[in-house]
Amino acid sequence: MTTFKRIHLIVLDSVGIGEAPDAAKFDDFDVDTLGHIARERGGLNMPNMAKLGLSNIRPIEGVPAADKPLAYYTKMQEASNGKDTMTGHWEIMGLNIETPFRVFPDGFPDELIGRIEEKTGRKVIGNKPASGTEIIDELGEEHVKTGALIIYTSADSVLQIAAHEDVVPLKELYEICEFCREITLEDPYMLGRIIARPFVGEAGSFKRTANRHDYALKPFGRTTMNELKDKGFDVIALGKISDIYDGEGVTKAVRTVSNMDGMDKLVDTLGESFTGLSFLNLVDFDALFGHRRDPQGYGQALEE
């Protein structure tokens, strides 16, 4: 931090620029998020990213290369053994994850589901990879009628529990998630995150609320954020950053509800007097568009 008083780090969640050499190891083939979205939309209109040098990394349809880019640019490959949210973010702050977090592409084992049902007295429905909005549309009405917990996962190492706030009060939902966190800290599960996903509304118009809460593992070692905090610097975590690091090394956490809200909160942070790091994750790219394979919505969000 001797060169700069403040550093602002922004992660565009899931925005990739081509296949990594080890993609096949994770059953990923022909992956190219920006390239595919640009082709689907007949090009992307991203003038500010163009000025910074985005297409100088590799050509993106609709985004011209810059003769004199305003920023340094490069493409990096993850060194850690994994591709999930926590692995990537922890590596950004200096940790090399050699043992990958567990993923469950076919749903969670009966033994784990049974323990949750026994502890909570509620049945579990779902238990499969799914989009969060789609699964509450599919199972929300059954959940409201029966009180069963909607449990689902994704390509990440995550167990998510969706529940209507009028059926499972927030306090109870959070307690259930805390129990799930306790029993999945180690093998054979070793899940990166447990996420409470409360929602409200009526059948056909269910809507997730801002009362989401993440229960992450603590980083396995000290991160750059710990070092900065210990040396008296500010570490301002915007969006889900504090949850990803379980609050480790954070001096101030700021919640956000969308990409645009995240950028607004970053602008507010730029106006504050502090010395250190601000760290923002723009989660909508992944949560609203990536998981749903929605290139049109994804492209519009990029252009915004």
**Is 157:103 a contact under the CB 8 Å cutoff?**
yes
| Position 243 pLDDT exceeds 70 | yes
Beta carbons within 10 angstroms of residue 98's beta carbon: 10
Better-scored residue on pLDDT, 28 or 1:
28
pLDDT reported for residue 173 = 98
Tokens of 210: 């801002």
Better-scored residue on pLDDT, 293 or 236:
236
User: What's the chain's average pLDDT?
Assistant: 94
Report the range of poorest mean pLDDT among 72-81, 176-185, 285-294.
285-294
Q: Where are the alpha helices (DSSP H) in the chain?
A: 33-41, 47-52, 54-57, 85-92, 110-120, 132-146, 170-183, 224-230, 241-244, 259-270, 284, 295-303
**Is 101:190 a contact under the CB 8 Å cutoff?**
yes
User: 107-164, pLDDT tens digit by residue?
Assistant: 999 999 999 999 999 999 999 999 888 999 999 999 999 999 999 998 889 999 999 9
The full set of domains in the chain, from first to last, is 6-97+220-303 (3.40.720.10), 110-216 (3.30.70.1250)
Report the range of poorest mean pLDDT among 159-163, 215-219, 294-298.
215-219
Tokens of 66: 């810059």
pLDDT reported for residue 292 = 78
pLDDT reported for residue 1 = 59
Mean pLDDT of 86-109: 93
pLDDT band at 26 (very low <50, low <70, confident <90, very high): confident
User: 62-94, pLDDT tens digit by residue?
Assistant: 999 999 999 999 999 999 988 888 899 999 999
pLDDT reported for residue 29 = 84
What is the secondary structure of 191-230 as a DSSP string?
-SEEEEEEEES-TT--EE-TT-EEEEPPPSS--HHHHHHH
Better-scored residue on pLDDT, 272 or 27:
272
pLDDT reported for residue 54 = 97
pLDDT reported for residue 33 = 95
Report the range of poorest mean pLDDT among 13-22, 53-62, 198-207.
13-22
| Position 188 pLDDT exceeds 90 | yes
User: 9-21, pLDDT tens digit by residue?
Assistant: 999 999 999 988 8
